[in-house]
Structure 1
Amino acid sequence: MTRKERSINIALWLAQASLASTLLFSGLIKLTQPSVNIASLWRWAEDYPNGVWMVGSVEIMLGIGILIPELLRIAMRITAWAAFACIGWTIGYSIFIASQGDWPTAGSQLPYLVLAAFIAWGRSKPQYTTPK
């Protein structure tokens, strides 16, 4: 592995850890907090209580898919697929949030989109995948 490849690999690991921890934490909040607390954070949560559960579940699955396959070096392509899925999820979630009138929260999804795009780009290339 060249120095450039090693640097990009480290940056990818940092991006994966950041995105996965954010997704896992956000998903756990949505699954464990009472609906009253969640409704005070997100306006749409009061209208779609089952949607909160679904959003939390998907975020946890994406967080696991972003980090665990590459970490365990088992089926490492799943990391790139999870990153591509996270791109689609973030765009769809942002559109939903914006349609509910919560524009600041919709705009706050941009860093996650950038991280997911970087991970999808890097982990889909064999030279930036952690060797076994």
Structure 2
Amino acid sequence: MNLTLWIVTGLLAAVLLVSTVKMVLPREKMAAVGPAAEWVLDFSPGALRAIGALELLAAAGLILPAVLDIAPVLVPVTATCVALLFVGAATVRLRRGERMTILPDLVYLAMAAFVAWGRFGPEPFTG
């Protein structure tokens, strides 16, 4: 179970790190990638930088507290916050009528909820 939680946590952190690209790429360039990325046009560049910064902090918060053994309770707390982030992402998709592109957000939401459950419950770092 511990190994599974680490794998899911690593995948989730990687997804969050990749998605921080919104901090440096112009909105128009991101939206040109395809319909799944058009949501960026609904947000200002400052808001996209803020979302990217939160994702960067979340990626660090999922890994570093456990690896450095400094306040490892922050891992499930961060995973809970990441789950809330993806609830917001799914809400944006629903409001935009993008029902076909909501699946990855729901998968990441489930991954974050699994990490939060696993680290608060059966496999905490304390013990």
Normalised to the residue count of structure 1, the TM-score between the two structures is: 0.82
Q: Partners in 1 of 2:12 and 2:67 — Cα distance?
A: 14
Select which of 20, 31, 34 maps to 2:26: 34
Amino acid at match of 1:13: W
* Segment drifting more, 14-23 vs 103-112: 103-112
Q: Does 1:9 align with 2:2?
A: yes
Q: Secondary structure at the match of 1:46?
A: helix
Q: Does 1:102 align with 2:94?
A: no
What is the total number of aligned residue pairs between the two structures? 123
Unaligned runs of 5+ in 2: none
Q: Which has the larger radius of gyration?
A: 1
Displacement of 1:129 after TM fit?
3.1
- Distance in 1 separating the partners of 2:78 and 2:41: 29
Report whether the alignment pairs 1:70 with 2:70.
no
Q: Distance in 1 between matches of 2:4 and 2:88?
A: 26
From 23, 26, 40, give the equivalent of 1:45.
40
**Contact preservation (8 Å) 2:73, 2:125:** no
Unaligned runs of 5+ in 1: 1-7
* SS of structure 2 residue aligned to 1:53: helix
Q: Which residue of 1 aligns with 2:52?
A: 56
1:5 counterpart residue number: none
Across the aligned residues of Structure 1 and Structure 2, the Cα RMSD in angstroms comes to 1.8
SS in 2 for 1:101: coil
Q: Percent identity?
A: 28
Q: Which amino acid aligns with 1:45?
A: V
